[in-house]
Structure formats: C-alpha cells, structure tokens
Amino acid sequence: MSSPETVYFPTVSTIQYEGPETDNPFAFRYYQPDHRVAGRTLHEHFKFACAYWHAFGNDGSDPFGRGPRPMKWLRAADPVERARDKMDAAFEFMAKLGLRHFCFHDFDLVDEGVSLSESEQRLQLITDYALEKMNETGIGVLWGTANLFSHPRYMNGAATNPDFGVVSWAGAQVKNALDATIKLGGENYVFWGGREGYMSLLNTDMRREQDHLARFLQSARDYARENGFTGTFFIEPKPCEPSKHQYDYDAATVVGFLRHYDLADDFKLNIEVNHATLAGHTFQHELQVAADAGMLGSIDANRGDEQNGWDTDQFPNNLYELTQAMLVILRAGGLQGGGVNFDAKLRRNSTDAEDLFHAHIGGMDMFARALIAADRVRRESGIEELRRERYESFDAGAGNDFAQGNLSLSELHKRAHDSGEPAMTSGKQELYENLVNRFV
Ligand code: XLS
Ligand code: NI
Ligand code: NI
C-alpha cells in the first residue's frame, strides 16, 4: 500500500501494532493483520470493512437536532465533486487504519439524482473514480447494497410494496447497485430488509408480500449471475425498525424463508449484533443458528445499549460477549465469504476527526482480543471435551440408535421402565462461565 495522502485527517498517521502495553491511543494493542490464530491470519479471519454510510455520511443528526459533526468532505456544491471528496476522505481513512475493505449503499457513494438516468450517470462517474482509488491502494469491496428505505417512495416497502410501480423502481435500483458492485469487484452483495415488512396487518397481505420478496430476490440473483457475479448474497436479519415488523425477523426466520423459496444455494446470512439483541437473542445465538444452517456468511459489528430498545449501532467493546461469539465462529470454521463490517456510528457528541480512528481501533482490537481468547478457551480450558461428554450417552448403544432414527417411542417407553429414574447430571453453567473468563 502506498502511503496515504493527508488531507482530511492531518493529525493521524498510519496506525501500527504496538502491543498491549502501549499508551499510544493511535496504535493497535491486539490487532496484527498477519498474526496467526487457529490456522489463519487475523486479517483472513476478519476482513474488516468500513461502513461508508456511518463513517462518511453520518453527521450525528438525530430526531431532535441537526448534526454537530463537521464533515469537511461534504462541502462542495456539485454532487459528483462532493462524492469524490468523500471518497478521498474514505480512502485516506482506510489506508491509515489498514482497512482493506469497505461496504456501501448505492447512494452513499453519490447522492441520488432527480431522475433514474441522472442517478445512473452519477454512479458511473463515481465508480470510475472508486476503481482508480482501489487500484492505487489495493482496497476492495466486501459488499455492496442498495438503499431501498430512505426515499419516500419506499414508505410502504420496496420489493414488498403493494404498488408494482414501486417494486419496479426497487428493481432498477438493485440492478444499478449490482452493476456497481460487480464493476468494483465486490465480494458479496447484501439485502437488508429496510422497510420490507409492515406497520399494520390490517392493510397488509403478508403472504403476497413475502412471495413478491422471494420473486424479487430470485430475479436479482439471476441477473447478477448472468452478469458475472460469483460472490455470495447475504440477507441481514432485523426484527423491526424502521418497520414495526420486518419479514427478515431473525436468523431462524430467514433460514426458513430461504429454504422455503429455494434460495439457500445462493444466499447466506449477515448477522448484526444489535439486530440480534433487538430480536430478543444474543449475538452468539444468531451466529449459531446461521452456522448450524451452513449459512454463516458475514457480520455487521456493533453493539446495542442495555437501556435502549433500538438500533444504537455503537462500536463493539464487550469482550466477554465477543469471546463467546468467536467461540461459535471458530467452531463453525469461520465466516463463509464475508467479513466484519463496522456498521457502527460515533456518538452524536464525538465530533473530532480523530474519533473515527479511536472507534475503529477499539473495535478491531476487541475482535482480535476476543478471537485470541476464544482460541485459547477452545485449546486450553477443556470446554470442548466437557461439552462433548455432556452428550456422550448418544454416542453409542441405544442413544445412538435413537439419534439415527432407529428407536421407536415404544422402545423408549420400555427402556425407561427397565432402567428406572435417570441419575441427575449437572449442567455446570457456572463452571463453563469460569472457563471462558479465565482467558478473557
Ligand atoms: C440497518 C442496517 C443497515 C444495513 C445495510 O439497521 O444495519 O445498515 O447493514 O443496509
Ligand atoms: Ni447492518
Ligand atoms: Ni443495523
């Protein structure tokens, strides 16, 4: 990588690994891209990506007031010039931080035009520019997506809109976003269900809307495959917000949907921490559901707030939770095709240019530290053996016959009579918790 040009982040130079003892806030204490854990480098495990929208589009505005963050890259009057400035800022940031991937929505790259044709022209121009920057730096696209939720035309949904005219527009937008993703060599393509859901069942034909969603996904898949896209499609589950109820509620719901509509060969899941908790699950639960279905594709890294019931999208810092998540990921053999996208935003009152670095350094270090801890837990604590032994009555004999489907209910009944009341076996949860804590 050539050394990044300094324009937007003059006070920060390239971030290096300095080890756990450093007091330099602009250094990694755990993340070393080439450090190997469980047979792969940390870079290969994570493929960390910058979320273009939060990092370079979020000025900190909230429903109560305009954004306080100065965004020097958004000052030009001309939309394409502004988009280029934004891209310069993004590439300066990523190069200094050592991020080798980014994720984008179509209209994060450049503002939507007043007509579809104008939007298409703008996307052409900005993706030409992106290609230049990507070639200079070696930075790539982890995934692209289309913003099918911000424009008022999508107030009743996009692919699930009751009006076919809107569904067509959504189709045009996804075609353009796929074209952009393919042009930039994107490794994956994401569908997060924006407003695909309902606000009230009274006016909603849920069955029809879900059929339309499946048709839409099939047509997007077919178009992308015909045009050379070999990556994976990800669905990103979320239970609510902005809709009252979103069809992609959680991992189990999406796995069922993909199988029902015959999409399971091309689609996997992108699991977001804060979406898991909004659905009433832990992050590790959602990862486990995806992994068990063979669909653990990618992660949107962030965290929620225990007192707030919405998608607060804070940067990850919960080591204990992340270590448990890394246990699931290591057991699953890693992410399938995806990586770790920082779908997280600075707090409204974090307004210094450096804050974006602190946030990402912290997140990357947390993931590295959690993975290293989880690997040690697996190798040194005995937890894997303990968990395996818990099920060992199914490994042989009648238990194995049962697991193989070769034992009837009447035979279970007979066995219970013969062997009498089973002995109690402790679940030992506190012991397991201590085994993890030893390495955190
Ligand atoms: C919103 C989602 C969104 C997707 C990309 O809650 O997390 O940011 O990741 O459309
Ligand atoms: Ni997300
Ligand atoms: Ni989210």
Cβ atoms of 302 and 278 within 8 Å: the answer is no
Residue 328 lies in a domain: yes
Structure tokens at 323: 């270590």
Query: Is the domain of 313 the same as that of 432?
Result: no
Bridge-based pairing of strands 245-246 and 197-198 is antiparallel
Q: How far, in Å, is the centroid of ligand 3 from the Cα of 416? A: 49
- Residue 103 CA, closest ligand 1 atom number: 5
Question: Considering the domain boundaries, does residue 414 fall inside one?
Answer: yes
The reply to whether 44 and 185 lie within a common domain is yes
Shortest-distance Cα residue to atom 6 of ligand 1: 311
Residue that finishes a domain, picked among 339, 361, 380: 380
Are residues 412 and 326 both part of a single domain?
A: no
pTM over 0.95: yes
| 299 and 264 together in one domain | yes
Q: How far is the CA of 274 from the centre of ligand 3 (A)?
A: 7
Residue 352 structure tokens: 């210094």
For residue 19, being part of any structural domain is answered with: no
Q: Ligand nearest 313 Cα, by number?
A: 3
Q: Whose CA is nearest to atom 2 of ligand 1?
A: 192
Ligand nearest 276 Cα, by number?
Answer: 3
The set of protein residues with a Cβ atom below 6 angstroms from ligand 1 is 105, 145, 190, 192, 236, 238, 272, 300, 311, 343
pLDDT of residue 311: 92
The answer to the question of residue 350 being in a domain is: yes
| Nearest residue by C-alpha to atom 8 in ligand 1 | 343
417 given a catalytic annotation? no
Neighbours of 38 (CB within 10 A): 16
Q: Which residues of 306-340 are buried (b: 16+ CB within 10 A; e: fewer)?
A: eeeeebbbbbbebeebbbbbbbbbbebebbbbbbb
pLDDT of 2: 52
Q: What share of the chain is helix, strand, coil (3-state, %, to 5)?
A: 50, 10, 40
Residue 273 in any domain: the answer is yes
Count of structural domains, the chain? 2
Ligand 3 midpoint to CA 251 (Å): 14
Same domain, 406 and 330: no
CB neighbours of 74 closer than 8 A, spacing ≥ 6? 59, 82, 85, 86
Distance CA 182, CA 290 (A): 26
Which ligand is in closest contact with the Cα of 146?
1
Name the active-site residue from 45, 101, 105, 281.
105
Report the atom number in ligand 1 closest to the C-alpha of 272: 7
* Whether residue 171 sits in one domain with residue 114: yes
Of the candidates 106, 108, 343, 375, the residue annotated as catalytic is 108
Same domain? 433 vs 319? no
| Domain-located, residue 2 | no
Look at phi and psi of residue 157 and say left if phi exceeds 0, alpha if psi is from -120 to 50, else beta: left
Give distance in angstroms: CA of 275 to centre of ligand 2: 8
Query: Residue whose CA is closest, atom 7 of ligand 1?
Result: 343
Q: From start to end of 336-404, where are the E strands?
A: 340-342
Mutate to test the pocket of ligand 1, among 192, 243, 345 (most ligand atoms within 8 A of CB): 192
Same domain, 415 and 290: no
Same domain, 374 and 431: no
Ligand 1: which residue has its CA nearest to atom 5? 192
Length reported for the chain = 440
CA 113 to chain centre: 28
Amino acid, single-letter form, for residue 336:
Q
Residue among 250, 272, 274, 298 to mutate when testing ligand 1 (max atoms within 8 A of CB): 272
Contact 48, 37 (CB under 8 A): no
Q: Is 300 a catalytic residue?
A: no
| Domain span holding position 415 | 384-437
Q: Are 342 and 419 found together in one domain?
A: no
For 203-261, strand residue ranges (E) read: 232-236, 245-246
Distance in Å from the first CA to the final CA of the chain: 33
- Asked whether residue 283 falls in the same domain as residue 213, the answer is yes
Same domain, 417 and 431: yes
pLDDT at 3: 66
Cα(315) to centroid(ligand 3), Å: 12
Give the distance (Å) from ligand 2 centre to CA of residue 300.
5
Q: Are strands 340-342 and 48-51 parallel, antiparallel or unpaired?
A: parallel
Orientation angle between helical segments 206-226 and 251-260, nearest 10 degrees: 70
Q: Which atom of ligand 1 is nearest to the CA of 53?
A: 8
Pairing of strands 40-41, 36-37: antiparallel
Residue 227, helix vs strand vs coil? coil
Q: What is the pLDDT of residues 257-302, one digit of tens each?
A: 999 999 999 999 999 999 999 999 999 999 999 999 999 999 999 9
- Which atom of ligand 1 is nearest the CA belonging to 311? 6
Q: What is the pLDDT of residue 29?
A: 98
Please return the burial class of 39, using the count of CB atoms within 10 Å of its CB with bins 0-12, 13-18 and 19+.
exposed
Tell which one of 105, 173, 174, 236 to mutate to probe ligand 1, the residue whose CB is within 8 A of the most ligand atoms. Answer: 236
Residue with tokens 């699930």: 160
- The helix or strand, by DSSP H or E, that contains position 37, with its residue range, turns out to be strand 36-37
Contacts 24+ apart (CB under 8 A), 197-201: 197/157, 197/160, 197/240, 197/243, 197/244, 197/245, 197/246, 197/247, 197/248, 198/157, 198/243, 198/244, 198/245, 199/243, 199/244, 200/244
Q: What is the CATH number of the domain that holds 273?
A: 3.20.20.150
Q: Compute the distance from residue 1 Cα to the ligand 3 centre, in Å.
A: 31
Protein residue whose Cα sits closest to atom 3 of ligand 1:
192
Residue 257 forms part of a structural domain: yes
Distance (Å, rounded) from C-alpha 413 to C-alpha 197?
Answer: 46
Let me know if residue 22 belongs to a domain. no
CB 326 within 8 A of CB 371: yes
Find the 310 Cα to ligand 3 centroid distance in Å: 9
Among the candidates 356, 380, 404, a domain finishes at 380
pLDDT < 70: residue spans in the chain: 1-3
- How many C-beta neighbours within 10 Å does residue 229 have? 21
Which of these three, 380, 396, 427, is where a domain ends? 380
Question: In the chain, how many H helices and how many E strands?
Answer: 16, 14
